[in-house]
Structure 1
């Protein structure tokens, strides 16, 4: 954070004070004209940043009439640090040199003696010093601004590079999902349809119908996800349609396991809360189907005071679970989703050998981030 608004007035006051000391040291109080010009030059430094050229011109009479030159040198430095007109700076430096060498009211230019040229060189060097210093400060300021612009440009370039790499990765992922996963799920749906038609066992036909229906739903979701991934780089694509409380009964009925639903919630909850409840039940039922074959599940969704409580409890499995691939990210994602809404997810085994997952959310749904 810049401190210039606070330090600039103090610096101006310090310059005025030093200039007044210069006046006290070089101007006799018995000479009112010179004293007035010197004092005017000192206080003219106050608006030096807003009116640098006018400030310098107001300090020249003090240089012409007295030896109090500090105010003029400060004004010349300010002008050099703010203007880019080199010709103007040269003229001002020459004006200071001639004014400092002139002794009004009786000017004396005697170029017949070497001392005059020595004085001229010394005075010209004195005038050139604040000009060069001011130009150096201006160049440093321009360089800092240029470096800041380069830094911003590099940051922007890195962001564009990262976005380009991400877009390529998402495109490759979409291609793999379309060419590999979708193809395999399509084969599952076809084989399930063949089994549904060709089997004489009612239970087998029902299981095949369930597999076929779930495969078709998975294909639809995969196609939508592929379209979302391929839309990277364009406008944000909404993951639609979003599940809500109204979709929970269908989710439970199509879970492929024996499950009961007990709920007293309405559809007036915020959409992120409804999605969190739906995804929690979906993940819990999927885990029951994968890890507890033959178990029965009970889903309870309750509104208790200021808390929404969702529990999914399953009985002990009746047969061994098949070894299925799992990345173990499901529960982690549920906990993160719940934390973003101000809630918690707990889970663990029950006394009868089953398992229970519990989601608790505040009823007001303190949303911090929208999850799909």
Structure 2
């Protein structure tokens, strides 16, 4: 994260920045117009001159206007002609707009100039004030000479110290902003470290507990198949169940290893393994067919989904997982009969429907956590889709087992909401 440059360390302005700022143009135009009006009305700050100054007051006014145009982009060089213009203005018949524009140039020299300029302008103002007071008192030998020093201080020291105060507040704000950015950066680093540590812990738990159990299931099912021998007849339900257990455990172990790799790769530096796609639904249904044959379950797939390139990866993964969880629930709870899986496009969305024979008996063939429907609903909602699961109208709940249980999800293929 780049560290911003403090505002006090002002670099030299590039050539294209030497153009006057819009606000400076407005200030200079207002000062010039005011000076012309006062000159035309013979309104001078030091009283009516003894003789008509003619056009001479307009020269300092024009020079001061030019310095005002460069008050922001050419400091301290704009201050030098402004000082000369002020002296000429006092000698030729002073115009109030010329004096006011000088104070603004002094203020801008401190605020927009370099750090060296901001430090020296107030010092020079105090020296000029002291010197003018001493010279005036030495020449006039009267207390009224102190008024000259006061006026000189108002023209130089006053705007200079105002600029110092504003600049200090600006630099303090920049420092606080930099400190806030650094604090936010440190907090983000701590958050990432905490997330990485939690992901690593989860990966260890999955590897040491779940993955080891799946490995043990795969090993023991393989050993059971080898002990079962080749003497079993073809289509033996026991051998078929052992083969299904081994295939499921091997596939679950591969999925677990993929998840462990994703958890450990907290920075995204490793190429993620391929996620399941809709093209793998055939193998998924075939696996369920082998596992449910002993319970009288038949499985049928109608995969009318578009090509994988036309389906967003999150939608394809969600559809695959919904079908996978629905088939698992059917193997646990469905009554003997047909389990139909349909995946097809519908009005800019992908519709996933799984229907099975309804069995009101709550007893399951295998234990589970009861979070399958919740997980499927969350997957659909995260993609902006809709999800529903339950018996279709007409299903009987008196224990006869007639009716159909349906799981249906509609996942939008675009950013638009699903119907």
TM class, shorter-length: 0.7 to 0.9
2:248: which partner in 1? 214
Q: CA deviation at 1:55?
A: 3.3
Q: Deviations over 1:49-101 (max 9, x none)?
A: 12243433333344324244222111111101122125641575268648977
1:70: which partner in 2? 100
The answer on 1:250 being equivalent to 2:283 is yes
Return the TM-score normalized by structure 1: 0.80
Which of 136, 143, 146 is the aligned partner of 1:118? 146
Q: CA deviation at 1:117?
A: 6.0
SS of 1:313's equivalent? strand
Q: CA deviation at 1:178?
A: 1.0
2:311: which partner in 1? 270
Return the TM-score normalized by structure 2: 0.72
Q: Deviations over 1:78-129 (max 9, x none)?
A: 1011221256415752686489779xxxx97735725276245424532211
1:313: which partner in 2? 355
1:26: which partner in 2? 45
The Cα RMSD (Å) is 3.5
C-alpha distance 99-115 of structure 1, shift in aligned 2 (>3 A): same
Q: How many residues align?
A: 354
Q: How does 1:28-107 map to 2 (within 5 A)?
A: 28=48, 30-32=52-54, 34-40=56-62, 43-44=65-66, 45-64=68-87, 65-66=89-90, 67=94, 68=96, 69-83=99-113, 84-86=115-117, 88-90=120-122, 92-93=124-125, 97=129
Which of 328, 333, 354 is the aligned partner of 1:291? 333
CA–CA distance in 1 between the matches of 2:300 and 2:334?
A: 16
Q: Deviations over 1:309-349 (max 9, x none)?
A: 3211011239731442233532233313541xxx4333321
The answer on 1:153 being equivalent to 2:194 is no
1:203: which partner in 2? 237
Larger mean CA deviation between 150-159 and 300-309 belongs to 300-309
Larger mean CA deviation between 210-219 and 285-294 belongs to 285-294
8 Å CA contact retained: 2:377, 2:387: no
The answer on 1:324 being equivalent to 2:368 is yes
Structure 2, unmatched stretches of 5+, are 1-20, 293-297, 396-402
8 Å CA contact retained: 1:252, 1:259: yes
CA–CA distance in 1 between the matches of 2:44 and 2:285?
A: 96
CA–CA distance in 1 between the matches of 2:55 and 2:31?
A: 22
2:221: which partner in 1? 192
Q: CA deviation at 1:235?
A: 1.7
1:366: which partner in 2? 414
CA–CA distance in 2 between the matches of 1:332 and 1:309?
A: 14
Larger mean CA deviation between 243-252 and 309-318 belongs to 309-318
Q: CA deviation at 1:306?
A: 4.6
8 Å CA contact retained: 1:299, 1:312: yes
1:229: which partner in 2? 263
Q: Deviations over 1:117-156 (max 9, x none)?
A: 6245424532211111111111111111111111111111
8 Å CA contact retained: 1:307, 1:360: yes
SS of 1:359's equivalent? strand
SS of 1:48's equivalent? coil
Which of 105, 124, 138 is the aligned partner of 2:167? 138
Structure 1, unmatched stretches of 5+, are none
Larger mean CA deviation between 12-21 and 273-282 belongs to 12-21
Q: Deviations over 1:150-200 (max 9, x none)?
A: 111111111110000011111111111111111222222233334444567
8 Å CA contact retained: 2:222, 2:246: yes
Larger mean CA deviation between 139-148 and 16-25 belongs to 16-25
